[in-house]
Structure 1
Amino acid sequence: MFLNYFKDFIVKKTLKKSFQNLKNSESTQAIKKIGLLVDASVFSETESLVKQLEVNGILANNITVIIYSDTFNTLETKKRIAFGAKHLRWNGKISSAEVNDFINKEFDLLISYYNIEKTILLKVTHSSRALFKVGFSSIDKRLNHFMIETDGSDFKLFISELFKYLKILNKI
């Protein structure tokens, strides 16, 4: 138990330090590849969220989904790549090869679909090589390029607002 608090403290300290050296990347590239990072311990409708992205013109094979879960017994985590807090080492490195592959993959858009700050989710979002990052406004403002202020359970509103602003920004 104490080691988990220590691990979270170290990772948050490292993230805070790296936020000072943050560089803004301005991408004018159209969005084709999407990475979707979902906290399944809070939100259980990942498939509906993916279908909503497809309705808005994103091809299914261009959407990569990774799921964080506190417990690994849900049906969602068996269909998708799943990870948990146990995959975060005390030095801030992630031990899962699948999560590291997700982080290193270049996406045009990363959707961080979580509204409660958990250390490993912050680490994955921050480390991602995505060109444009979108998330909830309740998460640290320095983490995402664009924040949407909605409730986490209303994914249809989140996606409609996202695509409304992506059209304004000439990203789609």
Structure 2
Amino acid sequence: MASADEIPAWLKLHRRLVSLQDGVGATNALVCDLSGSIFCCGLSRRWEGIPALRLAATLGETQAQLARELPAIGEMFERVLRARPPGKEKPGARFTVALVDEEPFAYAQSFAGVYVLLLCFSGPFTPFPVASKVRAALPEIEALTVMLPPPEGPDRETIAMRLRG
């Protein structure tokens, strides 16, 4: 069975999320589906200069860090879903949510009908530059996300983790 670190689209998506998160000053960048499954995250900022033999270990460290942060991310994701504009609750409805007034601070953009790009921030941020960078990055993120194996496929736990029980 293939693991997440053996799926080229997952590696490219991870790198793209790290680049976006660094570009906007976010602490985390994740791709989730509307049910709360995380398909990919950009938590690790240690990609540059990593030898191929260390890559799998780095991805394992990223997943361990994600596991520690799941409760806070789950709470943030729930808040994003509650903050959707009226009429945007149905699957397929596109929405953008910027939580800038109080913790948890986040920016979310839905795409491809069922996915959400979630950017987490440690403090207040200005949403307009974030929106511009997300708009530029979203086509590539969407293309890579839809290239991932289906969630019900083999070894799902290496690709998606549940946020909600």
TM-score w.r.t. the length of structure 1 is 0.29
Q: Answer 1 or 2: higher relative contact order, Cα 8 Å, separation at least 6.
A: 2
More helix per residue? 2
TM-score (norm 2): 0.30
